A = this chain, B = another copy of it.
Amino acid sequence: MTMTAERQKPVSDEDLVRGVRAGDRALLARAITLIESTRAEHRARAERLLETLLPATGGAHRIGITGVPGVGKSTAIDQLGVNLTAQGHKVAVLAVDPTSSRSGGSILGDKTRMARLGQDPAAFIRPSPTSGTLGGVAQRTRETIALVEAAGFDIVIVETVGVGQSETTVSEMVDVFVVLMLPGAGDELQGIKKGVLEIADIIAINKADGDNRDRASRAAAEYRSALSILTPVHPAWKPPVTLVSGLANQGLDELWRLICEHRRVMSEADAFAARRREQAAGWLHDLIDDGLRAAVTGRPAVRALLERLEGAVRAGRRTPQSAAAEVLAFAGLAVNMPATGTTS
């Protein structure tokens, strides 16, 4: 069932650009497949494509949504997306899941997870690039955001599951970061993942319906109390806690209102565009760091040396300094190690 660029008729760069700009879903999908490819000639084409489309990007409201498995992310995003397309929006849903083993073309899983949005002609759902480093998955997702923006989608939802650093990574590519939480109180609140409260712009307690309503309200009060002693992401915006039910379609209009209110407040504080500029600069530095690191990890002989020396450092037989110097020298990068301090 997978449809990939390789098995299809070749398409010229010009046709790909025109197709994406016209919102042609088949060509958009092929463009995304192209940027997900690791082949060198595909990467070169992908970079040209992104450079050409650059002036057409940036038009979407970029929304990150996270939550642990079982919190009801798919149901909530499905319902929120359907509500938004009903209002005339074009909604793209992307995913960042570095543990994903789904193939790049198999989007049936996601279409099934979001049954109504998957059938919605105003929506476009794309699963996570397949397993790889979080940095690599994130890079592809940032590029895919640019593509769907060039294709005219005005809302991009980037979904992530709470694995490793994936929430922080996603929060650094979106305008607003929404954390879905389970209703519960007291002990049930324990074990919130490190740092997630601190990067949340909005917290939504999901499944706040029926018998859960009271527990969800108590949970909201506890989260508000915890948030009150943390520095917010931006001084102009105090992260609100709201109740939603994806299943019952309750509270999602209020959640959307808060997302738009966040944009208004941040724009008035000159912080909306500034966040995007910082993100772009941070992305540039990440790419340079990744490229530099590939000088080590991309070469099997260097990687083997690093693994051997790391074992010696862990065992206390080598200093990190001498091991690092040996790895860099072997990689042909015996640059002067940076240092501070002075003997004036």
Contacts and interface: CB of A to CB of B under 8 A. Distances in A.
Q: Kindly name the residue among A37, A228, A288, A325 whose own CB sees the greatest number of chain B CB atoms within 10 A.
A: A288
Interface stretch (A61-69, A125-133, A151-159, A255-263): A125-133
Contact of A226 (B229, B314, B338): B229
Interface residues of A, number: 96
A2 B344 CA distance: 9
Interface stretch (A9-17, A20-28, A43-51, A115-123): A43-51
A337 B231 contact: no
A49 to B, nearest CB: 10
A52 to B, nearest CB: 10
A229 B291 contact: no
A225 to B, nearest CB: 7
A341 B284 contact: no
B320 A287 contact: yes
Contact of A344 (B104, B137, B289, B320): B104
Interface string A315-342: 1111111111101100001011111111
Interface in A279-318: 280-281, 283-284, 287-298, 306, 309-310, 313-318
A325 B195 contact: no
A190 interface: yes
A84 to B, nearest CB: 26
B40 A336 contact: yes
A191 interface: yes
Residue among A39, A133, A292 with the most chain B CB within 10 A? Answer: A292
B295 A333 contact: yes
A265 to B, nearest CB: 19
A280 B133 contact: no
A277 interface: yes
Interface string A193-207: 111001000000000
A313 B280 contact: yes
Contacts of A112: none
B129 A323 contact: no
Contacts of A230: 192, 194
Contacts of A280: 313-314, 316, 320
A298 B140 contact: no
A216 to B, nearest CB: 16
A271 interface: no
A107 interface: no
Contact of A189 (B104, B229, B288, B320): B229
